[in-house]
């Protein structure tokens, strides 16, 4: 809580110090104050969710044919390899006769069937996508991408995954069918919680020539939301800082993501050159999504380093390096979200894709960044290749630009949708011989802010 207060204050002060309009500042501050940040609530993407849509397209003698689609409506959280697993609990004794564009992981006990054997008879089926290269006759639109779903901002065209399912023993009219219950989504690993399926207006589909519209007979939607806390119970990344004007490199806070402890948890991390590494990687782990990290003081799988590199007359330059410390993960289609007030004057960006994420109307101080396809969209596992880099060139806005008080450092960083641990503001590299090295106590900032606010309000 203290951290988010500090963040909020930093943001509010940054805004006040700029020449923004009075009403904008007040509204922004009110938004900050009345939206306390909880783990599940993400202020940069408040409506982010994954929606599962279940469209019944036709009835069969003992059931129906449906198209099930998974829409990723999250701005910057994607589902990476090895992809999603969707599960549910049937309401009655339904079976899956056939599936196109996906498959269940287990068939289950189909011994009560003679002749035709269903694809799956389990009460709680678990479905995975098919791999790329699936024969054409086993495909449907938006299937067969190995369960990978892009984020909404990164690639809206690939933010959906679909499969077709033929359900039996369900009854074949809208009076007898019941929606599946207790949807589960692993993406991969835990993190999502799904709500119940609700009857919604039937989906409509446009024909290829756009001249005819058809519709589903019956549609259910279920919504799944992400919580970082459920996902790994510990932060997944951290931020380190440096600047050309100070030789100190401010490292990630110690124990950002965990502590090195050989006594209670031997093997919680590995040294890069130790013979143990090969055997730890070779041993099939019960949960392969648990990171196997290189031993560091922060123990994070991923570190983002922000270096203030150069100062020009009109511009300034930042170098960002993302380093992978996880031996068990190649991060495919990774993304980074960074918040800094100068992003609204970003002039040039090298070797990353960029899109502005406008969070509060016109204040576009938040950038989404991701790798260039086939060049650096893959962040390799820990080791010599396990990093990607970029440089940003910002145009100075004379009214707000300063190297003082850590202004040149980011306010917030997310990696793959997880909020990264920042060093405390009083540890930031300072300008040499700065007269204001002492941090202004928080209470002073608050009272100064409210004095300013009162003044502004009375001036309106």
Ligand X SMILES: *[C@@H]1O[C@H](CO)[C@@H](O)[C@H](O)[C@H]1NC(C)=O
295 C-beta neighbours (distance < 10 Å), count: 14
Cβ–Cβ < 8 Å for 387, 305 = no
Among 24, 309, 319, 328, binds ligand X (CB under 6 A): 328
Closer by beta carbon to ligand X, 182 or else 436? 182
Residue with tokens 């988010």, as numbered in its chain: 4
Select from 409, 428, 426, 394 the least CA-distant residue to 307.
409
Binding map of ligand X across residues 374-413, x = CB under 6 A, - = no contact: ------xx-------------x-x----------------
Among 116, 137, 210, 433, binds ligand X (CB under 6 A): 433
Residue with tokens 């009854």, as numbered in its chain: 171
Among 427, 445, 453, 456, binds ligand X (CB under 6 A): 427
77 touches ligand X by CB under 6 A: no
200 touches ligand X by CB under 6 A: yes
Rounded to the nearest 10 degrees, how much is the dihedral formed by the CA atoms of 325, 330, 334, 340? Answer: 10
Among 4, 169, 321, 330, binds ligand X (CB under 6 A): 330
Q: Interacting stretch for ligand X, rule CB under 6 A, among 45-53, 103-111, 185-193, 229-237?
A: 45-53
Task: Write the CB contacts of 19 (distance below 8 Å, at least 6 apart in sequence).
Answer: 399
Closer by beta carbon to ligand X, 272 or else 455? 272
Cβ–Cβ < 8 Å for 200, 221 = yes
Among 356, 359, 389, 456, binds ligand X (CB under 6 A): 356
CA–CA gap between residue 313 and residue 324 (Å, rounded): 34
Closer by beta carbon to ligand X, 58 or else 454? 58
CA–CA gap between residue 256 and residue 420 (Å, rounded): 9
246 touches ligand X by CB under 6 A: yes
CA–CA gap between residue 44 and residue 396 (Å, rounded): 25
Closer by beta carbon to ligand X, 124 or else 138? 124
Task: Write the CB contacts of 454 (distance below 8 Å, at least 6 apart in sequence).
Answer: none
For the bound state, the minimum distance from the C-beta of residue 454 to ligand X, rounded and expressed in Å, comes to 26
Between 22-34 and 2-17, two packed helices, what is the crossing angle to 10 degrees? Answer: 180
Tokens of 409: 């450092």
Among 210, 264, 362, 458, binds ligand X (CB under 6 A): 362
Binding map of ligand X across residues 146-175, x = CB under 6 A, - = no contact: ----------------------------x-
18 touches ligand X by CB under 6 A: no
Residue with tokens 């090195």, as numbered in its chain: 260
Q: Interacting stretch for ligand X, rule CB under 6 A, among 92-100, 109-117, 357-365, 451-459?
A: 357-365
Among 221, 335, 366, 376, binds ligand X (CB under 6 A): 221
For the bound state, the minimum distance from the C-beta of residue 446 to ligand X, rounded and expressed in Å, comes to 24
CA–CA gap between residue 405 and residue 436 (Å, rounded): 8
Closer by beta carbon to ligand X, 246 or else 297? 246
φ, ψ dihedrals at 413, nearest 5°:
-135, 135
The maximal CA–CA distance of the chain, rounded, in angstroms, is: 86
CA–CA gap between residue 25 and residue 140 (Å, rounded): 49
For the bound state, the minimum distance from the C-beta of residue 458 to ligand X, rounded and expressed in Å, comes to 26
φ, ψ dihedrals at 259, nearest 5°:
-115, 145
98 touches ligand X by CB under 6 A: no
- Residue ranges binding ligand X (CB under 6 A): 47, 49, 51, 53, 71, 73, 89, 174, 181-182, 200, 221, 223, 246, 248, 250, 262, 328-330, 344-346, 356, 358, 362, 364, 380-381, 395, 397, 427, 429-430, 432-433
């Amino acid at each position: 809580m203290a951290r988010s207060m500090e963040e909020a204050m930093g943001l509010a002060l940054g805004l006040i110090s700029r020449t923004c309009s009075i009403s904008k500042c007040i509204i922004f501050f009110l938004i900050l104050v009345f939206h306390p940040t909880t783990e599940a609530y993400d202020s940069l993407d408040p409506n982010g969710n994954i929606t599962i849509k279940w469209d019944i397209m036709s009835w069969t003698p003992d059931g129906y044919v449906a198209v099930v689609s998974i829409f990723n409506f999250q701005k910057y959280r994607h589902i990476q390899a090895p992809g999603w697993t969707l599960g549910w609990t049937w309401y009655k004794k339904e079976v899956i006769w056939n599936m196109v564009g996906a498959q269940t992981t287990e068939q289950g006990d189909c011994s009560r069937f003679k002749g035709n054997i269903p694809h799956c008879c389990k009460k709680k089926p678990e479905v995975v996508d098919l791999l790329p290269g699936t024969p054409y006759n086993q495909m449907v639109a938006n299937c067969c991408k190995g369960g990978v779903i892009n984020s909404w901002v990164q690639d809206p065209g690939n933010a959906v995954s679909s499969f077709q399912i033929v359900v039996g023993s369900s009854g074949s009219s809208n009076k007898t069918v019941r929606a599946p219950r207790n949807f589960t989504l692993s993406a991969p690993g835990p993190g999502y919680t799904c709500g119940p399926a609700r009857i919604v207006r039937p989906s409509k589909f446009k024909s290829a020539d756009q001249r005819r519209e058809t519709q589903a007979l019956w549609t259910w939607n279920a919504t799944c939301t992400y919580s970082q806390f459920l996902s790994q119970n510990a932060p997944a990344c951290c931020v380190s800082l440096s600047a050309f004007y100070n030789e100190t490199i401010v490292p990630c806070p110690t124990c950002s993501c965990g502590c090195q402890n050989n006594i209670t948890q031997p093997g919680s991390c590995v040294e890069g050159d130790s013979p143990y590494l090969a055997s730890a990687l070779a041993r099939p782990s019960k949960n392969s999504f648990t990171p196997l990290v290189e031993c560091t003081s922060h123990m994070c799988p991923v570190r983002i380093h922000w270096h203030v590199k150069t100062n020009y007359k009109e511009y300034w330059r930042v170098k960002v390096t993302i380093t992978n410390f996880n031996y068990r993960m190649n991060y495919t289609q990774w993304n980074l979200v960074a918040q800094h007030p100068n992003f609204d004057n970003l002039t040039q960006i090298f070797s990353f894709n960029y899109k502005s994420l406008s969070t509060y109307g016109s204040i576009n101080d938040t950038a989404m960044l991701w790798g260039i396809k086939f060049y650096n969209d893959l962040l390799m596992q820990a080791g010599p290749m396990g990093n990607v880099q970029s440089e940003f060139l910002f145009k100075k806005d004379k009214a707000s630009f300063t190297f003082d008080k850590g202004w040149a450092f980011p306010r917030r960083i997310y990696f793959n949708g997880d909020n990264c641990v920042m060093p405390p503001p009083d540890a930031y590299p300072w300008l040499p011989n700065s007269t204001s090295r002492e941090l202004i106590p928080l209470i002073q900032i608050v009272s100064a802010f409210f004095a300013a606010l009162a003044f502004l309000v009375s001036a309106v």
